[in-house]
Amino acid sequence: MVWDSSADVVVIGAGAAGAAAALEAAAAGAQVLALDRFAGGGAAALSGGIVYAGGGTSIQRAAGVTDDPAWMLAYLQREVGDAVAPETLRRFVDESPALIDWLIEHGVPFDPALCPYKTSYPNDDWYLYHSGSELSGAFADIPPAQRGHRVKGRGVSGKKFATGLLASMRKAGIQLETCTRATTLLTDDTGAVIGVECVTMNDAPRRVRDQFARMAALAAKPGIYYPPLRKAMEQRMARLEQRYGVTTKVLARRGVIVSAGGFIANREMVLEHGPEFRHGLALGTTGDDGSGIRMAQQAGAATAHMDNISAWRFLLPPSAFAGALLVDAAGTRVIDETRYGAAVGGKLVREHGGLGWLLADDAVARRAFGQIHREGAWFQRAQFEPVRRRAVKAPTIEQAARKAGIDPAGLRATVEAHNAAVANGTPDPVGKPAEFRETCDTGPFWLFDVGIKPSLTNPCPMLTLGGVVVNEETGAVRDRDGADIPGLYAAGRTAVGICSRSYVSGLSLADCVFSGRRAGRAVAGADIVEGIR
């Protein structure tokens, strides 16, 4: 082949996983070239900036939080199951405190301000909180600890996470080629991956590149919330790429790391692998189109957990809603209302047709209305208001049920059984801890629609958790026979990882950094492609 450029290590995608991989490979002495379809940052820049870490991180210690690696391991073993091998999960836990320190060293800021109430995402006053289901009944026998490390920054702080890592890449002398879309993994006669073919706009006029970057930013946000805008920007970017893009071949002397995200932005792939999740909000950039996974598959990669899509329906804040009852169309309880939003959303989609209502009596509802302004971040307050306005309110349980389209007898039976269990001190049927249980007996009664359906004002964010199978020691991509594909590595949501069975806030970013660093170290130590120096 005729090569247009070369590097020891080529990284496809400069999001959380790609940046971590590039930094670690460069630290090991490798010459690194990172390719990004847009300007870098990936879905991490759009995220809430939560990193799940524990076992005694420097931030936990500064906040006075007591945690133990054994507690974190026990929680994750139950939460994520067998997504990865036991020794991999243990290594993830053991390395967790060092992961936070590594991020701090690379310009990602954290803060030990400890959130005093249960929430799905803290406002700008707080940066350390229970980001999973640690306080829920299913984990009551495991000592809880606040492990949600929110990057310090106003609003959703994923951008601060991404800019810190990108700045660190620049300081490390890592070459980042933006406006460059990888299209094909190039192999030799043995099937080893030796390079990448891509389409780049690096030679386009500066004004065109700036225009492309602005379109990409619009497609990411607000396009993530308004799909027609995203589609329009994608079409315009495609036309610019067709006019100004140049096909090039990049040699990877030691290997290629694919960290190009998942496939939530690819509607066809979502319909193929998880059609029941078709009504969700695509939480990612337009680059999360499965292209990285497909390229790896073309090189022989095996995949797993492709049908696992995480759907988030957050009930908190306000924290008072921990005492409400989540019911389906039959009026029956759905899940412990204190569970993390992905557990709630998954239950609604998979077992209840996406239908759900949160029942609160007047005492709980009024307390919630007062809390949302104190506890909610700006976007949580914005999403709560239309839900409140559309809520059903009636003097009796039966009247409220009829207005909402819920079976009145079923809802009445559920409420009576719940109130009796609270009064008698008997266990909650769906496992909610006693400290969050409240009787539902003070009218009027409120029913808030929290179903999963397309909605501009209260969308259900979703992301894909499956990907290519990797060697969990190195991040090398495995073929369908279980053998490593020479020269090919994967990290982040392109690959199967810690959160590929179950997701809680911060677990994806933490896994991206963990798996990215793993792949970066491994590929930097790989043999140089034979005959090329």
User: Residues 380-391: pLDDT tens digits?
Assistant: 999 999 999 999
pLDDT band, very low/low/confident/very high, at 198 (cuts 50, 70, 90): very high
473: tokens are 């020691």
pLDDT score for 533? 34
User: How buried is residue 221: exposed, middle or buried, by Cβ count under 10 Å (0-12/13-18/19+)?
Assistant: middle
Please give the Cα distance from 362 to 444 (Å, whole number): 5
pLDDT score for 416? 97
pLDDT digits (tens, 9 = 90+) for 442-457: 999 999 999 998 777 7
More confident residue, 529 or 94: 94
Q: Over pLDDT 90: what percentage of the chain?
A: 95
Please state the three-class secondary structure of 301-362 as a single string: ECEECCCCEEECCCCCCCHHHHHCEEECCCCCECCCCCCCHHHHHHHHHHHCCCCCEEEEEH
pTM: 0.96
pLDDT band, very low/low/confident/very high, at 529 (cuts 50, 70, 90): low
User: How buried is residue 56: exposed, middle or buried, by Cβ count under 10 Å (0-12/13-18/19+)?
Assistant: middle
The answer to whether 466 and 436 are in contact (CB under 8 A) is no
Per-residue pLDDT for 532 more than 60?
no
pLDDT score for 531? 43
pLDDT digits (tens, 9 = 90+) for 171-186: 999 999 999 999 999 9
Please state the three-class secondary structure of 417-439 as a single string: HHHHHHHHCCCCCCCCCHHHCCC
Please give the Cα distance from 14 to 306 (Å, whole number): 22
pLDDT digits (tens, 9 = 90+) for 207-242: 999 999 999 999 998 999 888 999 999 999 999 999
What is the side-by-side strand order in the sheet with 357-361?
A: 325-327, 357-361, 445-449, 392-394
pLDDT digits (tens, 9 = 90+) for 469-507: 999 999 999 999 999 999 999 999 999 999 999 999 999
In Å, the largest CA–CA distance within the chain is 81
pLDDT band, very low/low/confident/very high, at 459 (cuts 50, 70, 90): confident
Q: Judge if the upstream peptide bond of residue 97 is cis by omega within 30 degrees of 0.
A: no
What mean pLDDT is reported for the chain? Answer: 96
Please give the Cα distance from 6 to 62 (Å, whole number): 45
Q: Strand 303-304 and strand 467-468: pairing?
A: antiparallel
The answer to whether 147 and 131 are in contact (CB under 8 A) is yes
Mean pLDDT on 289-294:
98
Please give the Cα distance from 310 to 325 (Å, whole number): 22
pLDDT digits (tens, 9 = 90+) for 133-151: 999 999 999 999 999 999 9
3-class state of residue 167 by DSSP: helix
Residue recorded with tokens 């719940």? 418
